[in-house]
Amino acid sequence: MRIDIITIFPDYFAPLGVSLIGKAAARGDITFGVHDLRDWAHDVHRTVDDTPFGGGPGMVMKPEPWGDALDAVRALGAVPEAAGGSGLLVIPTPAGVPFTQQHAARYAAEPWLIFACGRYEGIDGRVADDARSRMRVEEVSIGDYVLAGGEPAVLVMTEAICRLLPGVLGNAESAADDSFGFGRLESGGPMAGLVEGPSYTRPRLWRGREVPPILLSGDHAAIARWRRDSALRRTARNRPDLVARLAAGVPEPLDRRDREVLSEAGFPVDSEDVAH
Ligand code: 6GU
């Protein structure tokens, strides 16, 4: 996979050389191109922003440097047309569609991603419209809060995407068991639609606290059920929005025990809504 990033802060992406992503890049599983938007500025001061038409606070990123930068990066022809065609342009913005694990899985299957990091009050609106006439464009947000720029959002998304690439994660199964259970392209898995419960390791007794004994039982079916119960309880406590989806049978119908656990956690689930 190739990932190009256009930014006015190339140094922000030093962490891509570290940890899981750094190792994947060293192996050649991912190739990063980090480009300084100011290389495509049109004046001696390398100006990339200007005041907004119509008034208002802040600055807007000028269209000309962005148009030229995107043309140049697209022309790198990083991925031949035959191997997946033109790249997918991802524009991080708090006004975008919420980025989820499904996005991470879908992006991980793309051969070429281009991230356009905006700053200030965003990029002149014509840039995305113009890009859309040549390539696929998606605007995404990483949450309901405002960052000063798209750079940290791109680090977050890159990590979520790269750990799903074949060979990047040490244990391929750990992605399927993750919170949300959407680690693989096919949704589902034991934790589909849930957040995970807590995990435990040695020692068995620590500060007077025992590890839940069932985890030492060797009974794999009972352990799987216990883990699902524990995930349902934590989901009920921390993510009532997800419980509402689960109760509607999304992404998978609940079983009798699921409904019992949710009901004990204060979320009575109407059994009429559930497939048998
Ligand atoms: Cl993707 N960009 C910015 N600037 N702020 C954000 C965001 C993105 N997602 C949440 N807040």
Q: Give yes or no: 255 in active site.
A: no
- Cα(140) to ligand 1 centroid in Å equals 8
Catalytic one of 163, 227, 228, 259 = 163
Please tell me the distance from the alpha carbon of residue 267 to that of residue 238, in angstroms, as a whole number: 12
Q: Among 93, 97, 154, 159, name the best residue to mutate to test ligand 1's pocket (greatest count of ligand atoms within 8 A of Cβ).
A: 93
Contacts of residue 53, Cβ cutoff 8 Å, sequence gap at least 6: none
- Distance in angstroms (rounded) separating the CA atoms of residues 125 and 91: 12
| Catalytic pick among 4, 151, 178, 258 | 178
What's the pLDDT tens digit per position in 15-67? 999 999 999 999 999 999 999 999 999 999 999 999 999 999 999 999 999 99
The reported pLDDT for the residue numbered 270 is 78
Query: What integer pLDDT is reported at residue 187 of this predicted model?
Result: 55
pLDDT value of residue 178:
73
Identify the pLDDT of residue 224: 98
Residue-level pLDDT at 110: 96
Single-letter residue type at 74: R
Q: How far is the CA of 182 from the centre of ligand 1 (A)?
A: 23
Q: Residue 58's pLDDT is what?
A: 95
| For the CA of 145, the nearest atom of ligand 1 | 11
Q: How far apart are CA 210 and CA 70, in angstroms?
A: 56
As for ligand 1, residues whose beta carbon falls within 6 Å of it are 92-94, 141-143, 145-147, 149-150, 153
Instruction: Give the pLDDT of the chain (276 residues) as one tens digit per residue.
Output: 999 999 999 999 999 999 999 999 999 999 999 999 999 999 999 999 999 999 999 999 999 999 999 999 999 975 555 555 679 999 999 999 999 999 999 999 999 999 999 987 899 999 999 999 999 999 999 999 999 999 999 999 999 999 999 877 665 556 666 777 643 333 578 899 999 999 999 999 999 999 999 999 999 999 999 999 999 999 999 999 999 999 999 999 999 999 999 999 999 887 655 444
User: At residue 216, what is the residue type?
Assistant: L
pLDDT of residue 177: 64
| Residue-level pLDDT at 124 | 98
Q: Find the catalytic residue in 10, 52, 63, 94.
A: 94
Q: What is the pLDDT of residues 258-268, one digit of tens each?
A: 999 999 999 98
- pTM, full prediction: 0.90
Q: pLDDT value at position 128?
A: 98
| C-alpha separations of 157 from 15, 51, 115, 143, 211 in Å | 13, 30, 10, 12, 34
> Is 121 among the residues known to form the active site?
yes
Q: Is 109 in contact with 185 (CB distance < 8 Å)?
A: yes
32 is written with which tokens? 């990063």
